[in-house]
């Protein structure tokens, strides 16, 4: 009686779900065989395999990930730390990243850093503790100690949204400077000489830094300078785009071309322009990074640099999987951006042609 009682208590306290041992018992095979049956099906005789699979079914057996991970040293989890999750920007890479990985049998552990380096560091640490086998990060700019931390674990990682030719890291990204130069050159070709920039917060954000650097570099190439008064640093938001546009238009010498470091700024600028009655692109041209779904629909349609979000997600996933499967893979190559010219950019108002400097 006592024994029975005790036994039932034990049963009650047992964690829910059958273990592989239960399956093995039910199928009348050893634990080892049961394990093999699930991991290397054709290393076990067909007849037993069936018995085991039946038992799995009957007992609703669900493998215990942690136990498996501990024994096999594989978690099949990959971590991703993104600056934010609530907009379509990083989601545009995360979705394809996750999809590609899922197809290869990996899960994704995510975290958002909110553009905060400390938070990012914490998340990376936690992901490492969770046993992720690889990491996806955004940008390259971070405390070297973080890279050491990752390297100490010998796990592969990819930096997205940026690209460098150096061999220090694996990048799944694009050339921000080049893209910014291309965009700026295009605007200069249209005769623009006085530029305004609405940038994301520069600190801790190398994408923003590089884009600004690219703009400056293109300008310098034509012996022009970027007026510091025309560079505004803001949190990404439509409202800030509106506000800065208003500020710029109220300057004694407003820019004739506004380059936005991110789409929301451009939308804000365009909305505000419409409201103020400022004609785009006649009075001022507006162009932006991150061609998003709205760009072709907004009025006027927005000239923007298409950033390869889907491609980054997929490339990063493919690279990491290849690495994890032990393949000898080359570092991913730079992804292409593309300048999509629409109606928000046009010739500079007073057609300052190259060679004929604007009247002072």
Partner DNA sequence: GTTTCTTTTGAAAGCGCTTTCATAATATTA
Partner DNA sequence: TAATATTATGAAAGCGCTTTCAAAAGAAAC
Q: By the criterion CB under 7 A, which residues form the site for DNA?
A: 14-15, 19-21, 29-33, 35-36, 38-39, 42-45, 48, 61, 63-64, 67-68, 70-73
Residue number with CB closer to DNA (27 or 208): 27
Candidate ranges 64-72, 156-164, 190-198, 342-350; the one touching a second copy (CB under 8 A): 64-72
Task: Quote the tokens at residue 160.
Answer: 């997205």
Residue span binding a second copy (CB under 8 A) among the ranges 22-30, 49-57, 72-80, 181-189: 72-80
**Cβ proximity to DNA, 38 vs 322, nearer residue:** 38
Question: How many residues sit close enough to a second copy to count as binding (CB under 8 A)?
Answer: 57
Among 9, 66, 201, 251, binds a second copy (CB under 8 A): 66
CA distance 328 to 332: 12
Q: Strands 303-306 and 338-340, how do they pair?
A: antiparallel
Applying CB under 8 A, among 1, 10, 152, 330 the residue interacting with a second copy is: 152
- Residue 108 and residue 181: Cα distance in Å, rounded? 35
- Binding to a second copy by CB under 8 A, coded x per residue (else -) over 259-298, reads -----x--xx--x--x------------------xx--x-
Instruction: Decide whether 128 or 339 has the Cβ nearer to a second copy.
Output: 128
- Near a second copy by CB under 8 A, which window of 32-40, 50-58, 89-97, 217-225? 89-97
Nearer Cβ to DNA (33/205)? 33
Q: Site for a second copy (CB under 8 A): which residue of 22, 53, 99, 141? A: 99
Shortest spacing between CB 146 and DNA, in angstroms: 20
* Binding of residue 329 to a second copy (CB under 8 A): no
Contact partner, 86, from a second copy, DNA, none, Cβ < 5-8 Å per class:
a second copy
63 lies in the binding site for a second copy (CB under 8 A): yes
Phi-psi region at 154: left, alpha or beta (left = phi > 0; alpha = psi -120 to 50): left
Q: Which is nearer to a second copy, 114 or 282 (CB)?
A: 114
Residues 219-258 that bind a second copy (CB under 8 A): 238
SS (H, E, C) the chain: CHHHHHHHHHHHHCCCCCCHHHHHHHHCCCHHHHHHHHHCHHHCCHHHHHHHHHHHHHHCCCCCHHHHHHHHCCCCEEEEEECCCCCHHHHHHHHHHHHHHHHCCCEEEEEECCCCHHHHHHHHHHHHHHCCCEEEEECCCCCHHHHHHHHHCCCCEEEECCCCCCCCCCEECECHHHHHHHHHHHHHHCCCCCEEEEECCCCCCHHHHHHHHHHHHHHHHCCCCCCHHHEEECCCCHHHHHHHHHHHHCCCCCCCEEEECCHHHHHHHHHHHHHHCCCCCCCCEEEEECCCCCCCCCCCCCEEEECCHHHHHHHHHHHHHHHHCCCCCCCCCCECCEEECCCCCCCCCCCCCCCCCCCC
Judged by beta carbon distances under 5 to 8 A according to partner kind, the member of a second copy, DNA, none in contact with residue 276 is none
**Which span (102-110, 181-189, 199-207, 243-251) binds a second copy, by CB under 8 A?**
102-110
Q: What is the CA radius of gyration of the chain?
A: 28
Q: Site residues (CB under 8 A) for a second copy?
A: 15-17, 60, 62-67, 69-70, 73, 75, 77, 84-88, 91-92, 94-96, 98-99, 102, 107-112, 114, 123, 125-131, 149, 152-154, 238, 264, 267-268, 271, 274, 293-294, 297, 299
């Amino acid at each position: 009686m006592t024994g029975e009682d005790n036994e039932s208590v034990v049963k009650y306290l047992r964690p829910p779900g059958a273990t592989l041992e239960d399956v093995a018992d039910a199928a009348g095979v050893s634990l080892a065989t049961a394990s093999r049956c699930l991991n290397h099906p054709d290393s076990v005789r067909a007849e037993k395999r069936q018995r085991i699979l039946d038992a799995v079914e009957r007992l609703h057996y669900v493998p215990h990930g942690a136990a498996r991970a501990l024994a096999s040293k594989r978690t099949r989890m990959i971590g991703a730390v993104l600056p934010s999750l609530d907009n379509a920007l990083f989601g545009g890479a995360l979705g394809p990243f996750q999809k590609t990985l899922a197809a290869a049998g990996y899960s994704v552990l995510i975290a958002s850093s909110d553009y905060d380096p400390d938070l990012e560091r914490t998340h990376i640490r936690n992901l490492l503790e969770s046993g992720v086998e690889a990491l996806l990060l955004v940008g390259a700019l971070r405390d070297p100690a973080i890279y050491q931390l990752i390297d100490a674990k010998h796990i592969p990682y990819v930096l997205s949204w940026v690209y460098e030719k150096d061999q220090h890291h694996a990048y799944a990204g694009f050339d921000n400077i080049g893209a910014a130069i291309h965009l700026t050159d295009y605007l200069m070709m249209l005769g623009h000489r006085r530029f305004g920039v609405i940038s994301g917060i520069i600190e801790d954000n190398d994408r923003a830094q590089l884009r600004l650097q690219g703009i400056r570099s293109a300008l310098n190439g034509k012996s022009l300078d970027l007026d510091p008064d025309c560079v505004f640093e803001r949190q990404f938001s439509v409202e800030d785009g509106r506000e800065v546009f208003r500020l710029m238009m109220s300057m004694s010498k407003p820019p004739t071309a506004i380059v936005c470091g991110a789409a929301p700024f451009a939308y804000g600028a365009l909305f505000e322009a419409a409201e103020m009655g400022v004609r785009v692109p006649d009075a001022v041209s507006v162009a932006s990074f991150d061609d998003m779904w709205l760009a072709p629909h907004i009025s006027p349609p927005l000239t923007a640099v298409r950033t390869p979000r889907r491609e980054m997600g997929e490339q990063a996933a493919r690279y990491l999987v290849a690495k994890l499967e032990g393949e000898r893979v080359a570092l991913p190559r730079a992804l292409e951006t593309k300048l999509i010219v629409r109606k928000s950019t046009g010739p500079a108002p007073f057609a300052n042609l190259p060679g004929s400097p604007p009247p002072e």
